[in-house]
Amino acid sequence: MNKFKAIVSETYMNQVKSKSFIALLLMPLIFIIIGAGAGYISYSNASSSAEQDQVAIVGDSSIKKSLVKLDGDSIDSSVKTEKQAQNKIKSDDIYGYVKMSKNNNKIKAQYIGNDYLDSDVKHDLMQTLSLKQNELNISNGGLTKDQIQKLSNKPLFESHIEKQKSENSENNDNGIKMASLQTLIFVLYFFLIMYSSVTASTIAKDKGSKIIEVIFSSTTATKYFLGKIVGIILTLITQLIAYLIMIFAGYKFLSTASFSKDIVNESSDTIHQMIGNFININLAFIVLGLIVGIILSAAAGALVARKEDASKSAQPVVMITLLLFLLSIMFQNNSNSIIPQILSYFPLSSCFFMPIRMINNQANIFEGIISLIILIAFIIGLTYFISKVYKGLMLQNSNEGWFKNLIKGVKYR
């Protein structure tokens, strides 16, 4: 036990005191400062930047002209065609447009937009249209029954709301989902890459420098292997706790600072829902995923022959991580197809895909637990297997690429 503790604390202290670790700890602080800065700048600009509150009128320039006289501010008079109007909606310059047309001497106004038409504009529009329709009716001649009926023709107003910008619950849910997925994939990817190289290189250094011979003349390979892993996991936990404290403190600060509190409070629901997406079984997947990454990297580190190759030693794990990263980006919006379904049970990829499917509400808690059990069993089996062959992996010295080294190492003893 003493020896195990010695290995754990040596590994931990070495990591925590390293410059790169301290730099990493400061990173979110820098993010928060940049974020706050950006928030502050956009806040001070907010008053001057005009909100998109204009509509366009297309299809009849005389109606447009009379409307511009009435509601000049609310109408973007530069728009002439429907195409232009559609483009301007896309670029958020206007929130909608009214398309005028004539059919059977009837004036028709069709409104297409992201938001309801401003009621003042609508009122003025209707008045102008009535006038125009009247003119039209009169110019159409005699006052037969037919004509009276024509006189009673009212302009038609149709409203099509395509996409609403305001707080609509379903849309907001989607936003939270997307943000959660992106956070999940990014966090897993980032930490996996970082910790696989940290783990692999510390072990590769021990191996390449032959310090391992002194260690293996003192303790068992299993204790060394587990000690290294625990040391690295403690480093990871330290970093996560530091990040959480910083994020929490940053959140508290931003939600009270005058320039940002409105934005933060407005989105506090979103933030809470996002956190809710992680403080559940998904957290177990993230943590266990990182642990699998660390275990595999500890094996990968044992597969290089020279100290100089330590920095490349994590390559096999980095490649797997990259592949999973790309797959999850590919399937994040299509996570119920057969491939992600399979991947969400397969031990390694499940750390990415089960949470993705859970966030997308495509897997229930039981499926999650089954996948988690598979993952835990895999971790236990993997740890057992690697600790059995670890002595051979660490002591064999051939340098024929990681796969051949693995085979040789397994057969070594």
Partner 1 sequence: MICILHISKLDKYFDNLHALSNVNFDAQNGRILGLIGQNGAGKSTTFHSILNFIKYSGEITWNGKHIDEKAFDEIGYLPEERSLMEKATVQQQIIYFAKLKNRKANWTKPRIKGWMKKFDVKGELNSKLKSLSKGNQQKIQLICTLIHEPKLIILDEPFSGLDPVNADLLKQSILEAKDNGATIIFSSHNMNNVEEICDDLVMLRNGEVVLNGSVQDVRNQFGKNELYVTTPMSKDELQQLPGVLSVKIRDNNKYMLDLSNPDAGVELFKLISKGKYIEEFSQQPPSLDEIFREKVGETNE
Unique residue bearing structure tokens 């008045």: 127
For partner 1, the closer CB: 182 or 209: 209
Q: Which is nearer to partner 1, 14 or 273 (CB)?
A: 14
Q: Does the protein bind partner 1 through residue 219 (CB under 8 A)?
A: yes
Q: Which is nearer to partner 1, 90 or 210 (CB)?
A: 210
In angstroms and rounded to an integer, the radius of gyration of the C-alpha atoms of the chain is: 32
Q: Which uninterrupted H or E stretch holds 131?
A: helix 119-139
Pairwise CA distance, residues 312 & 400, whole Å: 14
Cβ atoms of 43 and 259 within 8 Å: the answer is: yes
Residue 214 interacts with partner 1 (CB under 8 A): yes or no: yes
Please identify, among the stretches 25-33, 216-224, 265-273, 336-344, the one whose residues bind partner 1 according to the rule CB under 8 A.
216-224
Token code pair at residue 25: 């700890």
Stretch that binds partner 1, among 132-140, 164-172, 202-210, 369-377 (CB under 8 A): 202-210
Shorter beta-carbon distance to partner 1: residue 227 or 293: 227
CB of 291 to partner 1, least distance (A): 25
Is residue 220 near partner 1 by the rule CB under 8 A? yes
Measured from the CB of residue 410, what is the shortest distance to partner 1 in angstroms?
Answer: 13
Nearer to partner 1, 14 or 341 (CB): 14
What CA–CA distance (Å, rounded) separates 380 from 361? 29
**Least distance from C-beta 164 to partner 1, angstroms?**
59
One-letter amino acid of 196: S
Of residues 150 and 391, the one with the C-beta less far from partner 1: 391
Nearer of residues 150 and 207 to partner 1, judged by Cβ: 207
* Residue 167 Cβ vs partner 1, minimum distance, rounded to whole Å: 54
CB of 381 to partner 1, least distance (A): 23
User: Which residue stretches of 17-111 are H helix?
Assistant: 19-46, 61-71, 82-90
Which residues, in sequence order, are CB contacts of 311 under 8 Å at separation 6+? 197, 201
6 binds partner 1 (CB under 8 A): yes
- If one asks whether residue 211 binds partner 1 (CB under 8 A), the answer comes out as yes
Residue pair 387/222 in contact (Cβ under 8 Å)? The answer is yes
Amino acid symbol at 117: L
Residues in 354-383 at the binding interface with partner 1, rule: CB under 8 A: none
d(CA 371, CA 100): 58
Among 218, 333, 361, 364, binds partner 1 (CB under 8 A): 218
Minimum distance, C-beta of residue 200 to partner 1, in the bound complex (Å): 15
Choose, by CB under 8 A, the member of 49, 103, 144, 217 that binds partner 1.
217
Minimum Å gap between C-beta 207 and partner 1 is 11
User: Any idea of the CA torsion for 354, 355, 356, 362, to the nearest 10 degrees?
Assistant: 70
What's the chain's length in residues? 413
Residue 395 is a binding residue for partner 1 (CB under 8 A): yes
Q: Of the candidates 317, 315, 362, 358, which has an alpha carbon nearest to the alpha carbon of residue 336? A: 362
Contact region with partner 1 (CB under 8 A), list: 7-15, 155-163, 256-264, 365-373:
7-15
Q: How many helices (H) does the chain have, and how many strands (E)?
A: 17, 4
Query: What angle (nearest 5°) sits at the alpha carbon of residue 117, between those of residues 113 and 119?
Result: 180
- State the residues that interact with partner 1 by CB under 8 A: 2-3, 6-7, 10, 14, 18, 205, 209-211, 213-220, 391, 395, 412-413
